[in-house]
Amino acid sequence: MENGGSDSFAKHPLPELFTPYQRKTLARRFRLTPLQSEFARLICLGHDNGRIAELLVMKRDTVRIHRKGLFERLNATDRADVPARLVAAHRAVRKPKQKPTE
């Protein structure tokens, strides 16, 4: 890696887990603040606390505090639980329409 690896994320970004509309719907469902919603997005993209602090221009301790608030809102126990809870909530909202049986 030529530039120490920090540019590798920019060259190969991970796909977003949800569309902006879906993120907004999930934020309303869980009553997330805009900052908590952004934290959830960054966690779903696989960023660690250091990278989140860098992206949001805040200290790591501040990231930990906000992450804890997000976990409480989602009833999540760890980072891996955040996308799992959001996906489960999204699927519960989007139940496929069933065709009427004759």
- CA dist 92 to 43, 83, 89, 96, Å? 21, 14, 5, 10
- Tell me the per-residue pLDDT of 58-85, one tens digit each, with 9 for 90 and over: 999 999 999 999 999 999 999 989 988 9
Distance CA 64, CA 49 (A): 7
Instruction: Find, among 75, 5, 91, the residue nearest to 40 by Cα.
Output: 75
Average pLDDT over residues 14-43: 85
CATH class of the region 16-92: mainly alpha
26: amino acid identity, one letter? L
pLDDT of residue 13: 45
Distance CA 15, CA 65 (A): 26
pLDDT of residue 86: 87
